[in-house]
């Protein structure tokens, strides 16, 4: 079984400032890690994913995330946010071995970008 | 190409009625998932279909919930005798392979009065 913790329910930040959204996971098996973004009244959009290999992964809209196995973390970062980045961000995990195809999500972090 | 589509976008029903929610996955995607998003419970897995294999129903909250996938494409989630706690956004996702991630539809907002 897997679990995901997003400790920050809300993160306010000024436009053009950097941001980090934290994600920690727990799993007894190897995992794939994902970040999704949800804009108001829309479905989830895949931002980026970590499967294996390089621990720094780049996604859409200038976001990147770093996988840290020893700290079981997969924090999302953006060096300079825009007002249009205001949305809810979900970290998710699935098992990478046989079975376990479902995604287990964190509770989400609401990113609010202010002028 | 076309993404995952879901219908209806909104559904209001009375307690005790049955409802059917529809999902059209991305063409060629062999895996289809249903999730539920509610204020109290966050995003929860409900059921997963992969090709012709038996579905993984481990996330269905009660026997009032069922789903089927016809012809390996369209899926219908049925909730019988709806309760107020069933009010949520029901999200459908499809995938070509686990490593490629899941692609979500816009959801169906269900309100049970």
Kindly report the three-state secondary structure assignment for every residue of A35-94: EEEECCCCCEEEEEEECCCCCEEECHHHCEEEEECCCCEEEEEECCCCHHHCEEEEEEEE
What is the reported pLDDT for B1? 57
What band does A98 get if pLDDT is binned at 50, 70 and 90?
low
d(CA A110, CA A105): 14
- Burial (CB count <10 Å: 0-12, 13-18, 19+), residue B73: middle
* Residue-wise pLDDT tens digits, B67-95: 999 887 999 999 999 999 999 999 999 99
Residues in Cβ contact with B101 at an 8 Å cutoff, skipping those fewer than 6 apart = A34, A46, A49, B95
Nearest to A77 by CA among A35, A17, A19: A19
- The pLDDT mean for chain B works out to 93
Cβ <8 Å between A43 and B106: yes
pLDDT tens, position by position, B29-39:
999 999 999 98
pLDDT of residue B101: 86
For residue B109, the chain A residue with the least C-alpha distance is: A41
Taking contacts as CB-CB distances below 8 angstroms, the residues of chain A near B45 are 102-104
Q: List, in order, residues 6 or more apart from A54 with CB less than 8 Å away.
A: none
CB atoms B104 and A36 under 8 Å: yes
The token pair at A112 is 């609010």
Q: Which of A72, A90, A80 is nearest to A8 (CA)?
A: A90
> Kindly report the CA angle at B69 between B73 and B111, in degrees rounded to 5?
105
**Which residue carries 């204020």 as its tokens?**
B39
Backbone angles phi, psi at B3, to 5 degrees: -90, -165
B104/A34 Cβ within 8 A: no
Q: How many CA atoms lie within 13 A of B57 on its CB side?
A: 13
Check CB contact under 8 Å for B102 and A46: yes
Could you report the per-residue pLDDT of A30-77, keeping only the tens digit for each?
889 999 999 988 889 999 999 988 899 999 999 999 999 999 999 999
Radius of gyration of chain A (CA): 14
Residue A115 is encoded by which pair of tokens? 């002028």
- The set of residues, in sequence order, having a beta carbon less than 8 Å from that of A92 and lying 6+ positions away, is A4, A33, A34, A35, A36, A103, A104, A105, A106, B43
């Amino acid at each position: 079984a897997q679990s995901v913790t997003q400790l920050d329910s809300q993160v306010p930040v000024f436009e053009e400032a950097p941001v980090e959204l934290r994600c920690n996971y727990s799993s007894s098996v190897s995992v794939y890690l994902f970040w999704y973004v949800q804009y108001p009244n829309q479905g989830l959009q895949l931002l980026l994913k970590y499967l294996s290999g390089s621990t720094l992964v780049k996604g859409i809209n200038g976001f990147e995330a770093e996988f840290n196995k020893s700290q079981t973390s997969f924090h999302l970062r953006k060096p300079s946010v825009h007002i249009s980045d205001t949305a809810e961000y979900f970290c998710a995990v699935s098992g990478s071995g046989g079975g376990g195809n479902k995604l287990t999500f964190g509770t989400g972090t609401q990113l609010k970008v202010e002028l | 190409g076309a993404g995952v589509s879901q219908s209806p976008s909104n559904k209001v029903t009375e307690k005790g009625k049955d409802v059917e929610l529809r999902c059209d996955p991305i063409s060629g995607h062999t895996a289809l998932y249903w999730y539920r998003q509610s204020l109290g419970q966050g995003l929860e897995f409900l059921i997963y279909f992969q090709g012709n294999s038996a579905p993984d129903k481990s996330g269905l909250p009660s026997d009032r919930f069922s789903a089927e996938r016809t012809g390996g494409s369209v899926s219908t989630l049925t909730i019988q005798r709806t309760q107020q706690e069933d009010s949520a956004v029901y999200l459908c996702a499809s995938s070509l392979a686990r490593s490629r991630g899941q692609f979500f539809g816009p959801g169906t907002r269900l309100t049970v009065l």
